[in-house]
Structure 1
């Protein structure tokens, strides 16, 4: 069992690489891909010396690069010099921005992950817990760095909603949808979104602020993360019964 890296462009999968845990497994390489007749498009990766924490993403010692017609258009990781040397490409025309992250987490009771809410900010521990056993009314709690930032009581009536909290002085809006946990199929997932900023269009739209929490949540789910000026973390939480 290992990890995989998948590249998706315009909702179509163009590149998927399996990273095996074996000692002599190939963890670096390149692949040419065809995207609607564009100029030469290549994906380069080097995960040979990558160092991992508790999550699936490498912390350092790696690079993943997307090169179009010998121009670097996307570069992830800290081995920047190695990436440019390997690809023999020109420098980035502009800095890339981390817009969104999607993650699937599996647990019996407490769902944990890590996230950075601003560029060069520190990594925060996030823990989500839904308490149902022995309670007349289920309740939901969210902790960031072991500090309770959100608690929802009478969850059967508030299974969808949103609330803004402060993390490092930055407003972070938390949306939750736990309908599947309470009323749906046993294998259904709950969905959580941590969003650091609203899009210019939404934040300036008075009609959006007048919507109910449920309607706001549905509106945001239907919009693409690229519409935001901030960062969005989307979590799919699955019960491991």
Structure 2
């Protein structure tokens, strides 16, 4: 799975092609095998859509289902579509009639998206889970799908935020990156749930770096590269932030910072945040 993450991050991203988007990749058991399921939320001035892609066992084909979420297509806010995965029918059910999007492409609450295969809900997104099971008339999967990759493109002037769960059994966190890239003493701040965990001064000399912080008593590696913020033409480059939880327990208190060269095996999940500065 790590090779898949590496492959995706190699895809070129430019200001002209970037739009507000969130890509999540899950591992789900369906049609007899564990498969990668990519969920893409994208939004720009003209379009707002959800795309679900299921990868073949060999990894050489994607089976897709796209849902348009334009505000004037109210009847598309609840529905379902069917598509085939290697000859087997797969259904996607959704209900966004009460969904709250908070300005982003991905809803934050009051919705569901259910992927159904062989009368089993193999992937369920959103907080309206009871409504999803009632609507699909399908049983839960014996093993929950696991999120192991998230990539998000966000736009802002000085502040960039996203949400992520670093561990399946723990809560979702709000991550905020703030920057001041003026001519004198540019700096960058990274906070999680309002707790400042990373502060970098003299950013013109420290535009690339990494640090290990502690969230929910678990170590999380943070990498950053903001070269384009400082040295590229305004509006042409992005800052890249990577958040990768490590395995193992930490003795530090919640919301602390840990500096260590000790190696440990990392968990599978990884968050890539592309932060585009608007002038």
TM-score range, shorter chain: 0.7 to 0.9
CA contact (8 A) 1:99 1:228 kept: no
User: What's the CA shift for 1:150?
Assistant: 0.8
Mapped partners of 1:128, 1:80: distance in 2: 31
Which structure is higher in helix share? 1
Match for residue 152 of structure 2 among 94, 103, 108? 103
Kindly indicate whether the alpha-carbon contact (under 8 Å) linking 2:223 and 2:242 is maintained by their aligned counterparts in 1: yes
Is the contact made by 1:198 and 1:230 (CA closer than 8 Å) also made in structure 2? no
Corresponding position of 1:146: 194
How far residue 154 of structure 1 moved from its aligned partner, in angstroms, is: 3.4
Contact 1:65 1:75 in 2 (8 A): yes
> Partner residue of 2:213?
165
Gaps of 5+ in 2: 1-44, 56-60, 249-260
The answer to whether 1:128 aligns with 2:177 is yes
Residues 122, 92 of structure 1: alpha-carbon distance in 2 compared, 3 angstrom cutoff:
closer
Report the alpha carbon displacement of residue 64 of structure 1 after superposing the two structures with TM: 0.9
Secondary structure (helix, strand or coil) at the match of 1:26 reads helix
Does the alignment pair 1:67 with 2:130? Answer: no
Detail structure 1 runs of 4+ shifted over 6 Å in the superposition: none
* TM superposition score normalised by structure 2: 0.65
Alignment of 1:185-196 (within 5 A): 185-186=233-234, 187-196=236-245
Question: Residue 85 in 1 paired to residue 134 in 2?
Answer: yes
Q: List gaps (5 residues or longer) in structure 1.
A: 200-208, 212-226
Question: Contact 1:105 / 1:238 at 8 angstroms: preserved in 2?
Answer: yes
- Residue 156 (str. 1) matches residue 201 (str. 2): no
Displacement of 1:79 in angstroms is 2.9
**Mapped contact 2:63–2:84 kept (Cα < 8 A):** no
What count of residue pairs does the alignment treat as equivalent? Answer: 215
* Mapped pair 1:34 → 2:79: no
- 1:195 Cα deviation from its structure 2 partner: 1.5
